[in-house]
Structure 1
Amino acid sequence: MKYACFIDESGDHVLKIDKDYPIFVLCGVLLTKEEHDNRLTKLLNELKTKHFGRTTIILHTAEFLRPRSLNSVYYPLCDVNKRNDFYKDLENLIRNIDFKIIAISVSKPDYLADFKEVAQDPYLLSTKPLVKTVCLLHQELKLNEPIDFIAESRNNELDKQLMANYQYLNSSIPRIAEMVAFPNPVKKDKNVVGLQLADLVVTPIGRNLLDRKQYLNFDCIKSKLKLFKIPADWSRLKNIT
């Protein structure tokens, strides 16, 4: 059975503390190709059609939390009733899709205090524990094919850095090629539903870690979530938030 892990992030990858959002979360959603191509695609397209009138829209949480203009396709979600209806349908979708969530979360205040000048880009830092966890799941599931590790393209330079990091992981983790494959990052306009699912769950994970208001019942995510924190102690974060 073929699996894929779709990757998205919440927060800025730069080594600078944003007091409004002082963490970084890298999230992978793991599901079978069959579940992705059939059930998830069907349910997500139904959600898009019901709330936005078309399936070609590419769901992006940052935009529908803060619509840019009155002409935004997401502007109707400013209405509290429409927003609540959307999130209820999203909760049902998350509950009804068979997938796992792996999230690597970085407290920037604690990480930078501990590692100072040798601190690494949080995105690249988070990639190794995410890949290693996916490798362990590959072994637990006793799969015969590698799991595709599919990330969204950001820009040419960042994509090059990510692929170089993947090459390093290929040389540093025993038998990794049997467990994980690293295709090139995918452009957002490809409308990949797995990447949109990752986008839809990663922001609630970040908001939960910061004890911020949620727009959906977090239990639908929590039941599927395996969470890791970098570093283990987040005591300095409390001084920021």
Structure 2
Amino acid sequence: MPDIGSERGFSDFVVYVDESGDHGMVNVDPNYPVFVLAFCIFYKGHYLTRVVPSLQKLKFDYFGHDLVILHEHEIRKEKGDFRLFKDRADKQAFMGRLSTLIDDSNFILASCVIEKHRLSSRDELDNPYHLALRHCLETLFDFVKEKAQEELVTHVIVEKRGAKEDDELELEFRRICDGDNKYQRDLPFSIRMAAKASNSAGLQLADLVARPIGRHVLNPAQPNQAFDVLKRKFYCEGGRQAVGDGYDQWGLKHLP
């Protein structure tokens, strides 16, 4: 079967984006003074055949249907649909299943963590979201160039937040892709906004990975089982076979 997607100018990859923390600078939460942006880069073939079916199976097993939307905050606080756990062991079994699903899902992570309490320059203080977005898009370009797909369009899917915020984000996204980046060239990315109700598997996985990244940057010495799974997925200098923390300030940027 011909690759219709590439014939139409689309790359083999799709990116799902989510955030953790507040990007506002007025009232910085002393317990979580960071803003995290996480790009989950999926090979479309793997996403269709492995990731989506695995997530649907998890939902049918635990909820009996697939309308539940996995949300890290609600799972952690056991709110809404996630009040179903019979006891601590039941929740731990669910979390173990979720961790295995993420571990088995073959995606690449590109993330940027803004330590808001350490920012100083005027440009940085203006909008941590825009600062993180630029770094993540530049890393994404490094990745698609490595895969020889820099001439094809890769779609970047972000969750809707509100009309004003969405308009500002789309404007900033297009400005970066129109040349306001460290490469000073057009970047081959197209943004799409999706409502949470779209029940996108990719957006839900992006939601689950963002907070563990922020917790790791805030306190690297603290045990963080979720991050231990994720650190094998970061885009690395030297490729996926790189050892140690080759992802640091590469696939995982933290500023300043």
TM bin, normalised by shorter chain, reads 0.7 to 0.9
Contact 1:26 1:105 in 2 (8 A): yes
Which 5+ residue runs of structure 1 have no aligned equivalent? Answer: 232-241
Separation in 2, partners of 1:217, 1:165: 31
Paired position in structure 2 for 1:136: 142
TM-score normalized by structure 2? 0.81
Of the three residues 11, 19, 22, the one matched with 2:21 is: 11
**What secondary structure does 1:62 align onto?**
helix
Separation in 2, partners of 1:126, 1:49: 35
- The Cα offsets for residues 167-222 of structure 1, whole Å up to 9 and x where unpaired, read as 21122244434x32223x111100111101101111111222233664x4432111
Question: For this pair of structures, how many residues does the alignment match?
Answer: 223
1:119-198, aligned counterparts within 5 Å? 119-143=125-149, 144-172=151-179, 173=181, 174-177=184-187, 179-183=188-192, 185-198=193-206
Separation in 1, partners of 2:31, 2:18: 20
- The Cα offsets for residues 109-133 of structure 1, whole Å up to 9 and x where unpaired, read as 101xx12586122112210010010
Paired position in structure 2 for 1:200: 208
Shift of residue 78 of structure 1? 7.7
Shift of residue 51 of structure 1? 2.2
Q: Which amino acid aligns with 1:38?
A: T
Paired position in structure 1 for 2:254: 229
Separation in 2, partners of 1:29, 1:117: 26
The reply to whether residue 22 of structure 1 matches residue 33 of structure 2 is yes
Q: Which amino acid aligns with 1:32?
A: Y
Q: Which amino acid aligns with 1:171?
A: D
Contact 2:17 2:158 in 1 (8 A): yes
**What secondary structure does 1:35 align onto?**
helix
Paired position in structure 2 for 1:210: 218
Q: 1:175 and 1:151, CA in 2 relative to 1: closer, same or farther beyond 3 A?
A: same
* Larger relative helix fraction: 1
TM-score normalized by structure 1? 0.86
Contact 1:56 1:191 in 2 (8 A): yes
Higher relative contact order (CA 8 A, sep 6+): 1
**What secondary structure does 2:32 align onto?**
coil
Paired position in structure 1 for 2:239: none
Separation in 1, partners of 2:84, 2:213: 24
Paired position in structure 1 for 2:54: 43
Q: 1:78 and 1:63, CA in 2 relative to 1: closer, same or farther beyond 3 A?
A: farther
Which 5+ residue runs of structure 2 have no aligned equivalent? Answer: 1-10, 235-250
Of the three residues 60, 63, 70, the one matched with 2:74 is: 63
Separation in 2, partners of 1:29, 1:151: 11
Shift of residue 22 of structure 1? 0.8
The reply to whether residue 84 of structure 1 matches residue 95 of structure 2 is no
